[in-house]
C-alpha cells in the first residue's frame, strides 16, 4: 500500500496548499523566507554540495552496535561501520584517492533491525543519504556512492550529536552521505552528474530541461528545490509539469506537490506566474482523478471483504479502513469548498 499512502498524502498536501492560499498564506511565507519547517525539510540541495567528492566503490558491513554516550546509557541509537574498496572518483577532486586503497566509514540509525526496510523499487529522493543507514542492508558486497566532505550534516534528534563520517586516515571526520546503488537507484551514478548545482553555470531553463532528461527523478527534484528557493518561476513551471506527470512514482509526485505549494505561496497573488503554477497543480489533480487509486483500493477491498475477514491481513485492512488520512481528505475537501465560497 506504499503507492496508496503516498498518493493520498500528495492529495492532502495539495488541498492544504489551496486552503492556505485562500486564507492569505502569510505564516508559511514567513517560514519559507526565514528558514522555517518547510524550508528545513528540503534544505539540502546540490547547490550546497559543490565541495564534496563523490566516490563509488564496493562496501561491506563491518559491524553494528548500540551506541551510547556518558549522558545517555539507554539510547536506542545504533552505529553501523563499513569498509569501501575498489573506488573511483565520479565527481570532485580527481586526486582524492591518491595513496588511498580503502575507506572506513560509519553512520547511525534509530531503527532497530526489525524496523528497517529496503525496497529497491523506490528511488531515493533526497541528498541527505540517511536512508542508507536506516535500511536493511546485504551482508554481501554492495555497490555504494559516498558524497564526502562539507557541508557538515545537520543534527538529527536522538543522534546525540553524532553523524556519518570517515572513520580514519587523511579524511577522518569528514561528513559522509551514502547511497546504495541497486534497483530504482541503479542509474544514480550517471544521473548525479546532471545535478544542477554541479554544473559550471548558474541554474537556467536549459539546466532545468537537462534535469528532466536525467535517468533518475532525484535530479529533477533537486532542480525544483533550487528553483523554488530562488523564485525561478519558469523553471518551477517546467520541472513541476514533468514531476507531476501520472507516470511518475507516487513518492515523487507527493514531494513535487509540496514544493509546488511552497512556490505558489511566495509569489504575488494575482500574478500570471501564480496562475500558471495553480494550473499545473489543478491539472495534476485532474490527471490523477481520472484513475482514482485511493478509491479503487477501497472498492477492491470492499468487494473482497468476506475473504479478508478470514485472512491473515484482517488487521492491516482495518488500519486502512480507519486511516486518518482518508478522513482528513474529506475534511480538507469540505474546508476548501467553504473557503472558495467565502
For residue 185, the model assigns a pLDDT of 94
Q: How confident is the model at residue 29 (pLDDT cuts 50, 70, 90)?
A: very low
- pLDDT tens figures, 132-156: 999 999 889 999 999 999 988 887 8
Q: What is the mean pLDDT of residues 232-246?
A: 94
For residue 72, the model assigns a pLDDT of 53
- pLDDT tens figures, 84-137: 999 999 999 999 999 899 999 999 999 988 888 877 888 999 999 999 999 999
pTM of the entire predicted model:
0.81
Percent of the chain exceeding pLDDT 90 equals 47
- pLDDT tens figures, 42-75: 479 999 999 999 999 999 999 999 987 555 555 6
Nearest to 263 by CA among 283, 284, 235: 235
Task: Report the SS3 class of residue 218.
Answer: helix
Q: What is the mean pLDDT of residues 264-274?
A: 86
Whether residue 320 has pLDDT greater than 90: no
Q: Which of 184-198, 209-223, 255-269, 285-299 has the lowest mean pLDDT?
A: 285-299
Show the beta-strand stretches assigned E in 73-211.
Answer: 77-91, 103-109, 142-148, 165-166, 176-180
For residue 18, the model assigns a pLDDT of 59
Query: Residue 328 has which C-alpha cell?
Result: 482528513
Dihedral (Cα; 307, 308, 310, 311), 10-degree rounding = 110
For residue 319, the model assigns a pLDDT of 85
Dihedral (Cα; 257, 262, 268, 272), 10-degree rounding = -20
- pLDDT tens figures, 168-200: 888 999 999 999 999 999 999 999 999 999 999
For residue 322, the model assigns a pLDDT of 78
Amino acid at each position: 500500500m506504499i503507492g496508496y499512502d503516498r498518493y493520498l498524502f500528495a492529495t492532502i498536501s495539495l488541498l492544504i496548499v489551496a486552503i492556505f492560499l485562500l486564507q492569505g498564506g502569510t505564516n508559511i511565507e514567513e517560514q519559507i523566507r526565514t528558514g522555517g519547517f518547510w524550508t528545513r525539510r528540503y534544505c539540502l540541495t546540490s547547490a550546497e554540495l559543490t565541495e564534496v567528492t563523490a566516490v563509488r566503490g564496493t562496501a561491506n558491513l563491518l559491524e553494528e552496535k548500540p551506541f551510547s554516550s556518558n549522558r545517555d546509557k539507554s539510547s536506542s541509537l545504533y552505529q553501523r561501520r563499513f569498509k569501501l574498496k575498489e573506488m573511483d572518483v565520479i565527481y570532485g577532486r580527481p586526486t582524492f584517492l591518491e595513496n588511498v586503497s580503502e575507506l572506513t566509514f560509519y553512520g547511525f540509525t534509530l531503527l532497530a533491525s526489525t524496523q528497517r526496510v529496503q525496497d529497491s523499487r523506490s528511488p531515493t529522493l533526497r541528498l541527505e543519504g540517511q536512508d542508507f543507514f536506516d535500511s536493511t542492508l546485504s551482508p554481501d558486497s554492495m555497490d555504494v556512492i559516498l558524497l564526502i566532505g562539507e557541508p557538515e550534516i545537520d543534527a538529527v534528534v536522538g543522534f546525540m550529536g553524532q553523524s556519518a563520517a570517515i572513520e580514519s586516515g587523511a579524511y577522518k571526520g569528514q561528513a559522509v552521505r551514502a547511497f546504495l546503488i541497486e534497483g530504482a537507484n541503479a542509474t544514480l551514478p550517471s544521473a548525479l552528474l546532471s545535478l544542477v548545482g554541479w554544473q559550471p553555470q548558474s541554474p537556467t531553463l536549459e539546466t532545468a530541461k537537462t534535469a528532466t532528461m536525467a535517468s533518475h527523478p532525484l535530479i529533477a527534484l533537486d532542480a525544483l528545490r533550487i528553483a523554488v528557493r530562488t523564485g525561478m518561476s519558469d523553471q518551477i513551471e517546467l520541472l513541476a509539469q514533468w514531476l507531476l506527470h501520472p507516470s511518475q512514482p507516487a513518492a515523487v509526485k507527493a514531494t513535487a506537490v509540496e514544493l509546488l505549494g511552497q512556490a505558489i505561496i511566495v509569489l504575488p497573488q494575482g500574478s500570471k506566474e501564480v496562475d500558471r503554477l495553480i494550473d499545473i497543480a489543478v491539472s495534476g489533480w485532474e490527471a490523477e482523478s481520472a484513475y482514482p487509486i485511493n478509491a479503487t483500493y477501497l472498492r477492491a477491498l470492499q468487494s473482497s471483504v468476506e475473504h479478508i475477514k478470514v485472512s491473515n491481513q484482517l488487521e492491516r485492512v482495518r488500519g486502512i479502513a480507519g486511516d486518518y488520512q482518508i478522513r482528513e481528505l474529506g475534511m480538507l475537501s469540505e474546508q476548501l469548498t467553504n473557503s472558495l465560497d467565502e
